[in-house]
């Protein structure tokens, strides 16, 4: 594997690891571990811990998909491995 491929792979793995940590914190941390502490906060009549466990984590997951696509498109263009016809 050449140097450019190694750098591309390293940045790709770093991005996936970062997004996976965010996913874990939101789903397991906010939805399970810290639910009691978060339930002391109410937003629109719902306890925040309950909201994260039921809806908030889904919104974060969808946002993470868009972040991943955006960051990978940028990374692909930076390393000139993009699939666009530009």
pLDDT tens for each residue of 21-80: 999 999 899 888 999 999 999 988 889 988 888 888 899 999 999 999 999 999 999 998
User: What is the per-residue pLDDT for 10?
Assistant: 96
* Distance between CA atoms of residues 16 and 12, nearest Å: 6
Per-domain residue ranges for the chain? 27-80
> What sign results for the dihedral spanned by CA atoms 20, 25, 29, 32?
negative
* Distance between CA atoms of residues 71 and 44, nearest Å: 33
User: What is the per-residue pLDDT for 79?
Assistant: 92
User: What is the per-residue pLDDT for 83?
Assistant: 80
Q: Would you give the distance in Å from CA 33 to the centre of its chain?
A: 19
Per-residue buried b or exposed e for 69-85, using 16+ beta carbons within 10 Å of the residue's own CB: eebeeeeeeeeeeeeee
User: What is the per-residue pLDDT for 85?
Assistant: 57
86 pLDDT more than 60: no
- The HSE-up count of residue 9 (CA atoms within 13 Å, CB side) is 6
* Pairwise pLDDT comparison (19 vs 80), residue with the higher score: 19
* Distance between CA atoms of residues 1 and 12, nearest Å: 15
């Amino acid at each position: 594997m050449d140097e450019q491929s190694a750098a591309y792979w390293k940045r790709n793995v770093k991005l996936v690891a970062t997004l996976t940590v965010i996913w874990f914190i939101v789903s397991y941390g906010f939805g399970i571990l810290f639910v009691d502490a978060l339930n002391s906060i109410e937003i629109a009549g719902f306890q925040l811990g309950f909201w994260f466990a039921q809806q908030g984590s889904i919104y974060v997951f969808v946002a993470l998909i868009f972040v991943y696509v955006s960051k990978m498109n940028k990374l692909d263009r930076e390393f000139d491995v993009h699939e666009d016809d530009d």
